[in-house]
Amino acid sequence: MIEKYRNYHGKYFLTLIFASISLASLGMLSHNAYADAVMATISMPGPAGESTVNPNTNLIYVQGYGNSWIDVINGSSNSVVSEIQLTSDQEGYPLGIAANPDTNKIYADDGRGLEVIDGSSNSIVATIPVTCLGDVAVNTNTNEIYVSDHFGNSVCIVDASTNAQVGSISVGAQPWGIGVNTDTNKIYVASVGGYEARQASVAVIDGSTNMVVRTIPLSSYGSQVSVNHNTNKIYATVGQETYVINGVTDTAVQIPIALGSIGANPNTNKIYGTDGNVNDQLNIINGTTDTMASIVQISSTFSPYLVVNPTTDRIYVSSASSSSVIVIDGNSSAPTLLPLKLTVNAQDVLGNPISGIWMELHSVNGDTIASGYTPVTFDVKQGAKYAVYASNYLHYVFLHWDDGSMSNPKNITPAGNETLTATYTP
């Protein structure tokens, strides 16, 4: 995981609890008129697991879930440009992966060691023996890599300049997600806490001394951590709620939002979190108020992980169940096309309704999307461009639409549920 841009992943699937979301009168999410939207789905060779991004090269690295590969995605084309074979993952689930954008090196825990990948060639250049198996994070201030030990109580420290483990730090039982705040040079490690989460906590480490300077107790299994550099807030997921840590005081408050994987975009001040495969959706949190801002519906992901590229404002959600990566466009100026209804009627010049006139709904390219006999209702998307064609039948000849337009087909861009009426000669 990359420290300044990276979100860090947990392995527990969480139950979603969130504040109610207002609905518009048309049955739509009112705040989604201009919101994040799915823009692409990229196939993987197998179940997709943890991922990281180098924003300098706009390359995304996706580790296979229980598989010995890393696929490299070009963020510009949303296509796989390389595949890296790793030593088989001993643990059967995806271990950590992190990128250092300053050195263009990627570090992947494959279950037997820390593989070092040269981002220029996308090839493995070294394997570092480590005594920890778990999540990975990079501190670009010190060029050190941190690896949590999912099966112990420590975090291993690797010197990236020598590719050697140089020490370890005792933290809570079963440390999991790691977040690095390069602005304050602090490292935050969430721990599951062992039996019944009795030791669940977030350990705060001083990056200059690699010593624990504070331990924040958690109410449940600590899972995953993400840093918002915009607000100096740190987010730790713990089952049915999320802890928000003040990076100045290292004190925490709880918010009633349960998240799976989590990642922050400091440029837009949005926090993204999967819902643990409960409702198949990506939750978007307002980083100022720490309340639910909107959601994006995604396909069933099972064991999802995500990473945010703040430079391109895109979010990459790994799906184990569909062996794919779902790409979300986080640009708020890109409208989400909401489902609407377009009803087309026919009448004669006296206003008497005519049934059975053939109507066609076309795309802007002239392709027929749907058709039917009046009265007919088409499914359309808000903000999308269409053309409606009214055919003639026997002695019924098209004259004009209800707005006086004689264009046939008639171009239309629905803003809400709409009705068109075509007038014919009697």
Average pLDDT over residues 24-33: 36
Average pLDDT over residues 329-337: 64
What pLDDT is recorded for position 185?
A: 97
User: What is the tens place of the pLDDT at every residue in 61-78?
Assistant: 999 877 689 999 999 999
- Please enumerate in sequence order all residues whose Cβ is within 8 A of that of 122, keeping only pairs 6 or more positions apart, or say none: 59, 72, 81, 82, 84
- Which has the minimum average pLDDT: 84-88, 120-124, 184-188, 211-215? 84-88
Going through 2-152 in order, the beta strands assigned E by DSSP cover: 37-43, 48-54, 59-64, 69-74, 79-85, 97-100, 105-109, 114-118, 123-128, 136-139, 144-148
Instruction: Give yes or no for a contact between 197 and 176, defined as CB atoms under 8 angstroms apart.
Output: no
Question: What is the residue extent of each domain of the chain?
Answer: 30-329, 339-424
Instruction: Give yes or no for a contact between 257 and 285, defined as CB atoms under 8 angstroms apart.
Output: yes
Cis status, amide bond into 101, omega within 30 of 0: no
30-329 belongs to CATH 2.130.10.10:
yes
Q: Is 34 a residue whose pLDDT tops 80?
A: no
- Helix/strand number for the chain, H first, E second: 0, 36
What pLDDT is recorded for position 22?
A: 32
Residue 130 three-state SS: coil
What pLDDT is recorded for position 408?
A: 94
Average pLDDT over residues 82-90: 77
DSSP H or E stretch at residue 400: strand 398-401
Residue 386 three-state SS: strand
User: What is the tens place of the pLDDT at every residue in 199-227?
Assistant: 889 999 999 999 999 999 988 777 889 99
Cα(14)–Cα(9) distance, rounded to whole angstroms? 12
Q: Is 32 a residue whose pLDDT tops 90?
A: no
User: What is the tens place of the pLDDT at every residue in 151-174?
Assistant: 999 999 999 999 999 999 999 899
Average pLDDT score over the chain: 85
Q: Which percentage of the chain shows pLDDT scores above 70?
A: 85
- Please enumerate in sequence order all residues whose Cβ is within 8 A of that of 10, keeping only pairs 6 or more positions apart, or say none: 176, 177, 190, 223, 224, 237, 260, 261, 262
- Which has the minimum average pLDDT: 23-37, 101-115, 180-194? 23-37
Q: Which fold has domain 339-424?
A: Immunoglobulin-like (2.60.40)
The whole-angstrom distance between residue 418's C-alpha and the CA centroid of its chain comes to 33
Tell me the pLDDT band of 277, cut-offs 50, 70 and 90. low
Q: Is 3 a residue whose pLDDT tops 70?
A: no
For 56: left if phi > 0, alpha if psi spans -120 to 50, otherwise beta; the answer is: alpha
Going through 257-353 in order, the beta strands assigned E by DSSP cover: 262-265, 270-274, 281-286, 291-297, 305-309, 314-319, 324-329, 339-348
- For the chain, give the longest Cα–Cα distance: 90
Q: Is 297 a residue whose pLDDT tops 50?
A: yes
Cα(90)–Cα(231) distance, rounded to whole angstroms? 38
Average pLDDT over residues 102-106: 97
Report the half-sphere exposure of 224 (CA within 13 A, side-chain side): 34
Average pLDDT over residues 8-24: 31
